[in-house]
Structure 1
Amino acid sequence: MIQRPKRIAVLGAGQIGAIIASMLAEQGHDVTLADASASQLKNAASSAYATEVVDASDVPSVKALLGTRDIVVSACPYFVNKGIATAAVETGTHYFDLTEDVATTAFIKEIGARSDVALVPQCGLAPGFICVLGADMASRFDTLKTVKMRVGALPLYPTNALRYNVTWSVDGLINEYCNPCEIVFDGQPILVPALEGIESVMIDGVAYEAFNTSGGLGTLTETLAGKVRDLSYKTLRYPGHAEIMKLLLRGLELADDKETMRRILNHAAPFTRKDVVVIFVTGIGQKNGRMEEESIVLRYDGTPELGAIQLTTAAGCVAMVELFLSGKLPQKGFVRQEDARLADFLSTRAGARLTNESRGSEAAKAVYKQDSRHAV
């Protein structure tokens, strides 16, 4: 199917939204980047796309914008996406977002059941690209035993006590550190607490810790139900980060005071483009009559022009838009990330960047050690 230019609104002119708008405009689409902040729009302004002041939390204003658009991409905090998705359905606008929030995705799935437009939440990196990789890994085995998915978006040079810099949404980060996490354990879907299940991971000589965070599996627990014994997603950080976050969120009870937690992170962990994204997916199962293990290790380094988390999140989202426009995804209703075939995903213009700009490969070596003191 030939892709024709579309009228696309991108809501949210932050670090990710502006890159998504640029990528879509480069493909010839008529793009409008919208945000409630005129100063934010001024900082993100480009000759490649138009800008418009629109408050994404004001549903009537969103509907007015979407009434003249074919597609909307929300790069806004998760808590405004229910209203944006509702406006998209009412205006007949296909919808994409970056949310990691489980409750928001469940709402979008519900309205998608009776929608004539496509609703594609959880685009980006994790959930997003990692779910496409995880589904592909699962398909490689005759009988599947285990799939482990690990993703880290980290500063290349950690300099603060948190050993972390905020490279995307502060609200999304706090959300995934606070909410229960879906996994499959011993064949059954269960919920486990965030910031637990700590493991030691060494990839290419660098030591990380991995721990439970919410939302990274997307809809894979449902998709692989009955097909896998153990399925998990964990976030990679430098060692010691999880214990500090538990002290802040639980010991000091800042999980109940997210505004204070937001101020702390904005002050202590400023944005950086000197970042790195690490992806590690491993699968174990029966293949050709014997038990085998396969792994994928990918690494992306940020540049002064484009951070690694900006590249991977924006490219993951735009690749899904490309697949939809080419007819390789369902054209209406709720669309899962794993509805995309990995080969198709990587053949898009945006998806190809995730191959061409990666320093990793399937042959990369990884040493994985579970710390039994913190096992689920």
Structure 2
Amino acid sequence: MKKIIILGSGKIGSTAAFMLQESSKFQVTIVDNQRQDHHTELEKAGIVVLIENISDASTIDAVLANGYEYVLNACPYHLNIGIIDAVAKKEMHYFDLSEDVKSANYIKEIAKKSKSTFIPQCGLAPGFVSISANHLCNYFDELKDVKLRVGALTLSPNNMLKYNLSWSTDGLLNEYSHPCDAIVNGKFTKVLPLEGLEYFCLEGIEYEAFNTSGGIGGLAEKLNGKVENLDYKTIRYKGHRDLMKFLFEDLGFKNDRPLLTKIFNNNIATTSEDVIIIYISVTGLINGKLEQKTVSHTIPNQMVGNKHFTGIQLTTAGSVCAVIDLHSQGKIAQSGYVMQEDIPYEDYVKSPFLNYYFK
């Protein structure tokens, strides 16, 4: 049985803890800054709960000094660098869920000198979407267009934004704020967040999609020089993008994200009634013929046993648990930096941790 410590007991960290502990392959310890109501439920499942100030570098260093082989960082993205440095000193295998491009680039440099494995961005997008898109690309002799579209949506929104909070508000606003990797007319470039607006209809419901950062992971780097156009866009209900542009640009909240985060947390309701929509499209040449291959998934919130999980919990935690499990079986490189696109697709999709994607 492998020993793993999870830093952060929010919705995704706690879900991953339950999944890994239930598999009987891992002994799980989870750490957070303060006691939470759901910690008792974690302890009943056999998970060790520690209360420590994991925003403090020296405390993280002490917490990690207990013989753990694996670390899953499920903390807010702004704590990533300190955690990465502490893990590198201990030569533990590191995994995270972050869409933050800055910390992913930092990991690349750290991993060059490490004997352990660093695998960032192991969630839904990047993560499942990156691995699936890369697999589709392998069918083609020549690539033309690769489109990644992902949305974590509220089933019944009742506000002007047509959105309720189902995961980290800080992470949400971060991906709306930074330039986005893309390939346009064969050239790697950066495109602006909240731009590239498009509309589409799925099962009678109208949606919009627009550029957001981080979700493309390392796919743009991997396909640079091999594809004409590649982009990642977030799916929302129509009208959401315009209001976010008004807040960020007209009202200037792009320069005061902490205040906007506070406003969102105080005034926009959270929900456990969500649905995840994934659409991946690849167009190119196969044996000289122009063809298109697509993958789509709709994953609702649902009961697992006698416990309810949101769609974002199941998809994000399920993906990182699958990657950790594959690493423990020796099916992923045991040292250095590993991109999501390097994870073996056939082994990955057979993981029981991904059952929720295929129901």
- TM-score range (shorter-chain normalised) is over 0.9
1:279: how far off? 0.1
Which residue of structure 1 lines up, in the alignment, with residue 23 of structure 2? Answer: 27
Which residue of structure 2 lines up, in the alignment, with residue 372 of structure 1? Answer: none
1:161: how far off? 1.3
The code of the aligned residue for 1:342 comes to: Y
After superposition, what is the alpha-carbon deviation per residue over 1:97-123, rounded to whole angstroms, capped at 9, x for unaligned? 011011111001110111111011001
Secondary structure of 1:125's match?
coil
Which residue of structure 2 lines up, in the alignment, with residue 121 of structure 1? Answer: 120
Which residue of structure 1 lines up, in the alignment, with residue 347 of structure 2? Answer: 344
Which residue of structure 2 lines up, in the alignment, with residue 368 of structure 1? Answer: none
After superposition, what is the alpha-carbon deviation per residue over 1:28-86, rounded to whole angstroms, capped at 9, x for unaligned? 21101110022366366332201001222212211222222110101111110111111
Which residue of structure 1 lines up, in the alignment, with residue 331 of structure 2? Answer: 328
* 1:1-376 matched pairs, under 5 angstroms: 5-28=1-24, 29-39=26-36, 42=39, 45-48=42-45, 49-68=47-66, 69-303=68-302, 305-355=308-358, 357=359
Contact kept? 1:134, 1:281, Cα under 8 Å: yes
Secondary structure of 2:302's match?
coil
Provide the identity percentage: 40
Gap runs ≥5 in structure 2: none
- Which range is displaced more, 54-63 or 193-202? 54-63
TM-score w.r.t. length of structure 2? 0.95
TM-score w.r.t. length of structure 1? 0.91
How many residue pairs get aligned? The number is: 352
1:272: how far off? 1.0
Secondary structure of 1:46's match?
helix
- Alpha-carbon distance in structure 2 between the residues aligned to 1:187 and 1:138: 15
Gap runs ≥5 in structure 1: 358-376
Deviation >4 Å, runs of 4+: none
- Alpha-carbon distance in structure 1 between the residues aligned to 2:201 and 2:311: 20
- Alpha-carbon distance in structure 2 between the residues aligned to 1:65 and 1:30: 16
- Alpha-carbon distance in structure 2 between the residues aligned to 1:9 and 1:211: 36
The code of the aligned residue for 1:12 comes to: G
Secondary structure of 1:95's match?
strand
The code of the aligned residue for 1:60 comes to: S
